[in-house]
A and B are shown apart, each in its own frame.
Chain A
Amino acid sequence: MLGLHLDEIEIGLAVELGAYEFTRDNVLAFARQFDPQPFHVDDEAAARGPFGKLAASGWHTAAGWMKCYVASNAAAEAALKARGKAPVPLGPSPGFTNLKWLKPVFPGDTVRYRSSVTGTRQLASRPGWGMVMSLNEGFNQHGELVFSFEGKVLTAMRR
């Protein structure tokens, strides 16, 4: 994870992952393909809906986190490579818990994402690997927490 092995990751490590800009075009494109509820695809229906205006699909907010997370990992890998070091394999994730859509995200919003390590543990079932637990958050341009979830990802240990 982020160019670090499991045994190099300390609880409390917090990483700014970058930001994703929600535009009218990308909000509508995502919602039309994956989440065509009226308040995500239709201005008039959205005006009468729960958010008062067109809002991004919650899954779009989540996908924006992944985009920033993958870009942060790629940058960390490139930095390791530049120093002549071997990449740290990023393993798959078995899933996540406590995903919260705390406030709607609207076209024109920019969400800045952050990941904080909350725990690590070695896996008896997979020697050389462990699990990193993290709290992941997204804040809009007003500094309001709009999105969070608790993630888990398999991470290699130092050989």
Chain B
Amino acid sequence: MDELLHYEDFSEGQEIALGPYAVSAEEIVAFANEFDPQRFHLDEAAGKASILGGLAASGWHSCAMLMRMMADAYLGHAAGLGSSGLDEVKWLKPVLAGETLAGKMIVLSKRVSAKRPEMGILKCRWELFNERGEKKLEQTGVNFIRVRTPC
């Protein structure tokens, strides 16, 4: 179906699978070189010696990976209108090179903007786990999605 997803296509309690996303050492180092050049994000030995326990992705990189999974799972084929932000991001455990992340988006609630009847607001929680089921990242925030038929 070519039709873009709109606000009406999402329902409270709905879950959408995210991932899988293979986290490579090369990608961790490339992101860190550009945006977060701390030693434990750049060098395996430094990562192992740190509290992170291995070559670990920048927390902002793990957020960017989640964004990519969201785009692939639903936002890339939705009538998206962006986002005003996030209530909370929890970096629960380090995301390490060689891990594969997957998880889900859960629609907590939905409403149409009072000021902009063409804009729907999805309040969501996003969770990512590694292949051993350890939760790595949790976010709560909003996605704005166009209403197909505004009242």
What is the distance, in angstroms, from B139's C-beta to the closest C-beta of chain A? 9
Interface size class of A (residues with CB under 8 A): 35 or more
What is the distance, in angstroms, from B101's C-beta to the closest C-beta of chain A? 13
Q: Report whether A35 and B84 are in contact in the complex, using a CB–CB cutoff of 8 Å.
A: no
Interface size class of B (residues with CB under 8 A): 35 or more
> Given A51-B82, A99-B86, A101-B82, is A37 in contact with B71 using a C-beta cutoff of 8 Å?
yes
Task: From A39, A49, A59, A102, name the one whose CB has the most chain B CB atoms within 10 angstroms.
Answer: A59
> Given A51-B82, A63-B60, A91-B51, is A34 in contact with B37 using a C-beta cutoff of 8 Å?
no
Q: Mark B26-57, 1 if CB is under 8 A from A, else 0.
A: 00000100111110000000000001100000
* B63 interface hit (Cβ, 8 Å): yes
The docked-state distance in angstroms from the alpha carbon of A91 to that of B35 is: 17
* B88 interface hit (Cβ, 8 Å): yes
* B113 interface hit (Cβ, 8 Å): no
* B58 interface hit (Cβ, 8 Å): yes
Q: Mark B117-151, 1 if CB is under 8 A from A, else 0.
A: 00000000000000000000000010010000000
The docked-state distance in angstroms from the alpha carbon of A90 to that of B76 is: 37
- Interface-located stretch among A64-72, A109-117, A133-141: A64-72
The docked-state distance in angstroms from the alpha carbon of A97 to that of B87 is: 5
The docked-state distance in angstroms from the alpha carbon of A59 to that of B85 is: 10
Task: From A36, A95, A104, name the one whose CB has the most chain B CB atoms within 10 angstroms.
Answer: A95
The chain A residues found within 8 Å of chain B, CB to CB, are 30, 33-39, 49-51, 57-59, 62-64, 66-67, 70, 74, 90-102, 104, 149
**A-B residue pairs, 9 tightest by C-beta:** A34-B64, A100-B85, A63-B35, A95-B90, A50-B81, A99-B86, A99-B85, A67-B35, A95-B89
